[in-house]
Amino acid sequence: MPQAVFIAPARGADSGATRGGVGLSSMLWSGPASRAARLARGWLAAVWLCLPVLGAAQGMAVVPAGSVGQDVTPHWLHVADPRADMTIDQVRQLAVQGPDSPWTAPAPNGSAVGFGFTKAAHWLRLTLRNPTAEPSAQMLEIANARLSYLDFFAPDATGQYQAIRTGGDTPFATRPYASRHFVFPLTVAPHSEQVLYVRVQSTTGLVVPAKLWPAADYSKHQRDDYMVQSVYFGVAAAMILFNLLLFVALRDRAYLLYVSFAVSSVLILAAKAGLWDEFLWPHHWRLTSAAFYTAVSVGFVSFFQFTRIMLSTPEQMPRTDKALRVLSALHVVAPVLYWTSFALVAPYAIGVIAFSAITAFGVGVWGMIRRMRAAYFFMGAFSMLLIGVFMVVLRSAGLLPTNVFTVDGALLGSTLEMLLLAFALADRFNQLRREKINAQQQLMETQQRLLENLQSSERILAQRVDERTEQLLALNQKLEALSMVDGLTGIANRRQFDQVLAREWTHMQRKGHNLALVMLDVDYFKSYNDVCGHQAGDECLRSVAQAIASICRTGDLVARYGGEEFVIIAPGTDGLQAVQLAQRACDTVRALAMPHPLEHAAVVTVSCGVAVMVPSADSTLEALLGYADAALYQAKARGRNQVAGGDFEA
């Protein structure tokens, strides 16, 4: 037999949970009757049977078995509980009619009642009537998985109200019916009324979309609902896996950002749909709200970074790029607040999310105005999702009605966004490939032109190379000579000395002749330099070098050994000749008569150390240098301005 439940208009104060066959039904169907009484009963029966129709015309609705869910939004009565401390008994005592009644009919927001963002609790009252002779099993569905707290009150057989306390911020096990939404099974007795109360309170947008379903139809409705969800999440999983494989293959960061954004979108929509609480973590309900907004922030960070790559904002729109980086930083910090002070920041989070969505949309529009190719794909892909998200945000704030577009539009928008965005990435890949091919072609053409230019100039270059070779040879010889000369004194430097000494050592060893070495040091030069200054010291060294060079033979080499030390290489010279050479050097320097600031020195002089050896396999250059250096120290020890070392001849 068909069942029907009428949603009755409010009538008087709540004097009981049910009104059964007592009263009107008794008058209609019991007791002896005259013809007039039977006629009166017939009219009353006709009025009773017409009540559903009249009720429907005046705000009542009927849900016969097998029909679609009946929207109960127009039939709620509402009272606010600002301090959230009212009990069910207090609420039941409130007068439903009359000038002092606090109950009001809330303004419907589409197929839901909405109260925006508020910390207050709100009580909703619904009267159901079953005019049939059979019990009516119904399912009251409140299709907002993000409601934090929801208390459902229905009378038991004794008329006492029993509470079912559940909500998004309570364990999933508190729900009387396993569903992503809040579903409350109830039975309305035959020929009776039943008054239901629902208390709602939420840290998110307070929207209550409610429908009444025949119990026999609800399972099919739930299967169809989950089928829609599975289609979306199946498509999303396929797109995520596909683009993840593309990232692994191409190593393009844009694909990884796309995957991050797509995963965030899936998590956001799964949380919004109540699937987190049912499947992901039914025992960790306290994490859902903070995790939901964290996923939103991660999604926006990925989205903004993806936008910067797709639209090349650092190069094309630097000011816009700065704004995107600032918003990204804000969303990086936001999860800290979500996990520490969620109730405080939740109303502001919706504003930040809405502003971020509008900003992203504006960036795409600005790119289109600048005729950027990627912007058209960007807008085509993201406008669907952005519009869907924007409608959800406005619905949560109570600014848009609740309907299929504001509830499930985000699923469709996200699906289209993933598909279109995949096309955008494919176009970007093709565009980069074309640019690479064009660049390679231009490179080949440039290389060909360069080759032709090189071939045409090769002959000229060959001539110039010959000319330059001669010039370089001359220059190298000059540089080689300069590298062998001391820059201060103009005589041979240490490098030339080392080379000549090694060469003469080998030469004298081969001939078996003497090799003499005279080492000279300017006496008290440090004092001279300290008192007279560095310029005078440099001039002194130049004069000493010229004086020493003037007494040497053509085959001898005079070199600056280091600092104020000089050295003479005299090949084929015995010990006596070497001492005489050194003595002439002492005399010549002293004859310069350069005044010395020290009183006991009078003039600048030099001390000489002489060493003579016949190079052999048993002797070394280092030994010769050591003998000369020791002789020099001996001359200094004897009082300076003299020669020592004739006895070092070997």
Active site residues: 564
**Cβ-contact 484, 590 below 8 angstroms:** no
Q: What is the C-alpha to C-alpha distance for residues 169 and 181, in angstroms, rounded to an integer? A: 13
Between the two ends of the chain, the Cα-to-Cα distance in Å is 140
185-206: burial string, b at 16+ Cβ within 10 Å, e else: ebebbebbbbbbbbbbbbbbbb
CA 323 to chain centroid, in Å, comes to 15
Distance (Å, rounded) from C-alpha 557 to C-alpha 554?
8
Measured CA to CA, the distance from residue 141 to residue 209 in angstroms comes to 8
Residue 561: partners with Cβ closer than 8 Å, 6 or more residues away: 494, 497, 519, 567
Taken in order 168, 118, 272, 178, the sign of the CA dihedral is: positive
SS3 (DSSP) at 121? strand
Give CA separation, 130 vs 44, 145, 190, in Å: 17, 29, 6
Q: 489-500 b/e with 16+ CB inside 10 Å = b?
A: bebbbeebbeeb
> 184 CB contacts (<8 Å, ≥6 apart)?
139, 140, 142, 152, 154, 164, 176, 177
Dmax (CA) for the chain in angstroms is 173
Q: Which helix (H) or strand (E) is 192 found in, with range?
A: strand 192-201
Across the strands, what pairs with 318? none
The two tokens of residue 22 are 């007592």
Question: Residue 177 and residue 221: Cα distance in Å, rounded?
Answer: 14
Q: Which long-range contacts (CB under 8 A, 24 or more apart) does 595-598 make?
A: 596/524, 596/527, 596/528, 597/527, 597/528, 597/531, 597/532, 598/524, 598/527, 598/528
Count of beta carbons in the 10 Å neighbourhood of residue 620: 13
Q: Give one DSSP letter per residue of 278-336, joined into a string.
A: III-TT-GGGHHHHHHHHHHHHHHHHHHHHHHHTTHHHH-HHHHHHHHHHHHHHHHHHH
CA 603 to chain CA centroid, nearest Å: 79
Report yes or no: 176 and 183 within 8 Å, Cβ to Cβ: yes
